[in-house]
């Protein structure tokens, strides 16, 4: 067991969110004192707020997880606000951490949405700049990718230490199930559960189902973040994934089976599929800080469904 975190102060922005709660819990279990700023008290899009936060907390590490996210529909409805809010939050935190005397290292979470639309599979970090992202994800993906450049030039000019991690699609207990912000797994779990309860004979699913995704269990992602916070020293981005690819159709069919919904799944090809394929090469994470995903997808999906069924009221809330 490492003693690295004993007594250290860590700020986890977004620490009350889906991934952030698990990261904060792991850090606390290792002996860290974790500060979790809330957006109602610390609007990181506003200049000066990040500096005041770090002056008040005096952390040795900043883990920046705060983000505004949603599914394809949300990305289509609010691309400008998604771009600007995510860009500003990361920009302000990176600069505040750079000038804060106590901060030794800043950890930034990117997104697989930053990769070009037609990236060769498996996605390798060197392909990040080889084309434009899939259109429905581009504003969010580009805002996140700008944080990588910001951190890299700060390291070159000022010596700022950072780690930049790119997880694939996250899922697990505590995910966002509200329709306005949910991604494919929580959205389909909620829909299949409700359709089963109502006795519906069929449900509509966006797209053709042929697009593929790679899903990463939230605990695995959190473990990678904690390890990289301590051990990773390069300025190059690092993929976090399982190296397993599954189509949207297979995903939804598996969810329906696990939930016990036996109605018809009707695919609507007039709706967007999003990026055609997603699977990343996670070799750098294992080589650099010894991380490998552990949770089998079917088992993680069962944990997620069981959590949703036991926490419906909480899961369905927007915030």
Q: Which residues are catalytic?
A: 140
Measured over the CA atoms of residue 64, residue 66, residue 70 and residue 75, the dihedral's sign is: negative
Nearest to 109 by CA among 75, 141, 138: 141
The whole-angstrom separation of Cα 263 and Cα 228 is 44
Tokens, residue 80:
């400008």
H or E element that contains 9: strand 9-13
- Max Cα–Cα distance, the chain, nearest Å: 62
Report how far apart the first and last C-alpha atoms of the chain are (Å, whole number): 35
Residue 108, strand partner residues: 64, 164
- Give yes or no for a contact between 248 and 207, defined as CB atoms under 8 angstroms apart: yes
């Amino acid at each position: 067991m490492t003693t690295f975190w004993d007594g250290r102060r860590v700020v986890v922005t977004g620490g009350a969110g889906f991934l952030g709660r698990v990261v904060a819990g792991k850090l606390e279990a290792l002996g860290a004192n974790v500060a979790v700023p809330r957006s109602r008290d610390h609007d990181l899009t506003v200049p000066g707020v990040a500096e005041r936060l770090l002056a008040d907390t005096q952390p040795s590490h900043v883990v920046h997880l705060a983000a505004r996210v949603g599914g394809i529909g949300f990305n289509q409805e609010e691309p400008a606000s998604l771009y600007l809010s995510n860009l500003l939050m990361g920009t302000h935190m990176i600069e505040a951490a750079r000038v804060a005397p106590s901060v030794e290292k800043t950890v930034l979470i990117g997104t697989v949405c930053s990769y070009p639309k037609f990236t060769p599979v498996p996605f390798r970090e060197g392909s990040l700049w080889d084309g434009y992202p899939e259109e429905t994800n581009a504003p969010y993906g580009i805002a996140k990718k700008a944080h990588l450049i910001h951190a890299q030039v700060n390291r070159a000019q000022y010596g700022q230490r950072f780690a930049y991690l790119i997880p694939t699609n996250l899922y697990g207990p505590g995910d966002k199930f509200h329709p306005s912000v949910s991604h494919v797994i929580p959205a389909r779990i909620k829909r299949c559960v409700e359709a089963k309860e109502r006795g519906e004979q069929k449900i509509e699913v966006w797209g053709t189902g042929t697009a593929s995704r790679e899903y990463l269990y939230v605990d695995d992602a959190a473990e990678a973040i904690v390890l990289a916070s301590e051990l990773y020293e390069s300025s190059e981005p690092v993929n976090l994934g399982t190296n397993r690819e599954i189509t949207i159709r297979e995903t939804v069919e598996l969810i329906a089976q696990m939930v016990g919904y036996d109605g018809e799944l009707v695919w609507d090809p007039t709706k967007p599929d999003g990026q055609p394929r997603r699977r990343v090469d996670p070799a750098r994470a294992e080589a650099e800080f010894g991380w490998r995903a552990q949770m089998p997808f079917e088992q993680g999906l069962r944990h997620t469904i069981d959590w949703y069924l036991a926490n419906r009221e909480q899961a369905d809330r927007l915030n």
